[in-house]
A and B are shown apart, each in its own frame.
Chain A
Amino acid sequence: MVNLNVNIGNIALKNPVLTASGTFGYGEEFSDFIDLNKLGGFIVKGTTLNHREGNPYPRMVETPSGMLNAVGLQNKGVDYFIDQIYPRIKDIDSQIIVNVSGASIDDYVAVCEKLAPLDNINAIEVNISCPNVKQGGMAFGTTTEGAAQVTKAVRKAYPKTLIVKLSPNVTSIADIAKAVETEGADSVSLINTLLGMAIDIERQRPYLSTITGGLSGAAVRPIAVRMVWQVAKAVNIPVIGLGGIMNGRDAIEFMLAGASAIQVGTANFIDPTVTLKIIDFMNEYCDRHNIKDINEIIGQI
């Protein structure tokens, strides 16, 4: 029997497989397809202080081995989440992690304060890396000062496990990671989407209403693996790796690069059962390599 249990801050995951925010709704959307209790955890849609309508349609376009999106953090706000959604999902036997976004530091703090008392949510992922909103989001995540400021403020407001989600749209992601570690983050997750753009040459217009959007999918994977490797070398807190993980092989690749856990995003759209297949692959891989505990492979490169 292989041990797949890994720890991130103060939370234990029964396996390293999480789902990426914005690709798995609130879990419920996938309950016809998989037993959510089998996941290490799932990270719910980006949640803000107030209701957000998000960006106008069109919000997505498929690109080679990837897709661009420009959803823009559409959500009904943290109060709606707490009142309406949390009661429906709180008893799922899997770590529920809320992704938190804000246009200002006060927004981030206010959302974290509201989430902190929820018994069955023991971690948040602070999104300082959304490329699709005008204010906040990535603006905080592209400088060490901005990233440090948000982390410091949220750390004071949120006593449980604090994960900070990093943007790849920076010169040195390791420097940003070190800055948030210094301010008390328990873990970093990376990468959020890469800023991209695609043009419909017949209509001579961009495909997305926002012109630019966030690139995800297999196309970004080598960049994500490289960044996870760089960050894992630079910090002493656990790293959560994501970016184009399509199958079990890719998940193991991230763990070898230094990820203690992984998130599956775009792949959920193609195969809603992919997360369970990845867990099966991890068991099979460890057996095949005579590994008793998956923690042994973390950061072997």
Chain B
Amino acid sequence: MKKHIIDFKIVENRRLHDIYSLLILTPTSGQQLPPIKPGQFVQVAIDNSKTTFLRRPISINFVDYEANQLWLLVRKAGDGTSHLINMKPEESLNIILPLGNGFSIPADKNTRVLLAGGGVGIAPMLYLGQVLKEQGFSPEFLIGARSAKDILQLDILQKIGTVHISTEDGSLGEKGLVTTNTILSQDIDLIYCCGPAPMMKAIANVAKNINAQCEVSLENMMACGVGACLCCVENTVKGNVCVCTEGPVFNINQLTW
């Protein structure tokens, strides 16, 4: 897929939480968004930061082709993302997109798919869920968080499919970790997963136990995002491969977890 460098402007910065913002962007020039697959990501340039100069990889939360808008769900982690979550409408962002491979969509529409996200790992699941639904699947979501207030975009996810929730404090859904949610004891064919590495590894184990296929989205530290610097490698059955080009989505059978 052809990669583009596009100047975007912020249409809206919707603060979802102390440390999460939903940035809704549109190309400044009015040009149409390029084709984007669920699970792909962007590299965002951070201007005027005192401590960062590399771009920040951010997964694509949603693509609204009708409104020509790109949604990025950003979690404040360091100075770069701190700058992003504080951006104001009309401010501009230079973005390289779309990057990476994206999730695979099965041919059989009867495949029972579960989209599991932990924390900001829910980000790519909204667009994936929407695309799956449009293609005739009945996607279900599994969200894990510390507490009810950390569950993001619940209302919009519920419009797409059933949402199963686990919170560590039991304030919403089942009490406990996502990996112990009862949905995982059901007959799931394919689990898509994005979240902290320990969560993805645990989900991958569950998937193996219930004989489900499982794709995980990795977020290794990267510099270029286009396969040039070879910094973001993951050790796979094929040796070290770039997460930015061969991933970020991997079938767990490809990984050495």
Query: Could you tell me which A residues sit within 8 Å of B by CB distance?
Result: 22-25, 29-30, 32-33, 45, 53-54, 56-62, 64-65, 67, 69, 71, 74, 217-218, 266, 268-273
Is B19 close to A, CB under 8 A?
no
Residue interface bits B45-66, CB-to-A below 8 A is 1, else 0: 1000001111100000000000
Partner pick for A54 among B53, B228, B233, CB 8 A cutoff: B233
Q: Does B54 lie within 8 Å of A67, measured CB to CB?
A: yes
Residue interface bits B195-223, CB-to-A below 8 A is 1, else 0: 00000000000000000000000001111
Q: Does A69 lie within 8 Å of B223, measured CB to CB?
A: yes
Give Cα distance in the complex from A217 to B223, angstroms. Answer: 12
Residues of A within 8 A of B231 (CB): 59-60, 69, 71
Q: Does B233 lie within 8 Å of A74, measured CB to CB?
A: yes
Is B240 close to A, CB under 8 A?
yes
Which of B1-9, B22-30, B122-130 faces chain A? B1-9
Q: Does B55 lie within 8 Å of A269, measured CB to CB?
A: yes
A54-B240, A269-B228 given; name 20 further pairs at CB < 8 Å: A23-B229, A29-B226, A29-B227, A32-B2, A33-B3, A57-B220, A57-B233, A58-B220, A59-B230, A60-B223, A62-B53, A64-B51, A65-B53, A67-B54, A268-B224, A268-B228, A269-B54, A269-B223, A269-B225, A271-B45
Is B72 close to A, CB under 8 A?
no
Interface residues of A: mostly helix, strand, loop or mixed?
Answer: loop
Partner pick for B233 among A23, A29, A59, CB 8 A cutoff: A59
| Known contacts A269-B223, A270-B53, A270-B55; A71 and B235 CB within 8 A of each other | no
Interface size class, chain B = 20 to 34
Q: Does B230 lie within 8 Å of A74, measured CB to CB?
A: yes
A-B CB contacts (within 8 Å), total count = 86
Q: Write the chain B residue with the least CB distance to A28.
A: B227
Partner pick for B53 among A45, A217, A268, A272, CB 8 A cutoff: A217
Residues of B within 8 A of A32 (CB): 2-4
Is B239 close to A, CB under 8 A?
yes
Q: Does B229 lie within 8 Å of A60, measured CB to CB?
A: yes
Q: Does A62 lie within 8 Å of B52, measured CB to CB?
A: yes
Q: Does A269 lie within 8 Å of B5, measured CB to CB?
A: no
CB distance from B58 to the nearest CB of A (A): 15
Q: Does B223 lie within 8 Å of A67, measured CB to CB?
A: yes
Q: Does A25 lie within 8 Å of B227, measured CB to CB?
A: yes
Give the most central of A29, A30, A65: most B CB within 10 Å: A29
Give Cα distance in the complex from A61 to B223, angstroms. Answer: 9
Give Cα distance in the complex from A67 to B227, angstroms. Answer: 17
Give the most central of A32, A60, A67, A217: most B CB within 10 Å: A60
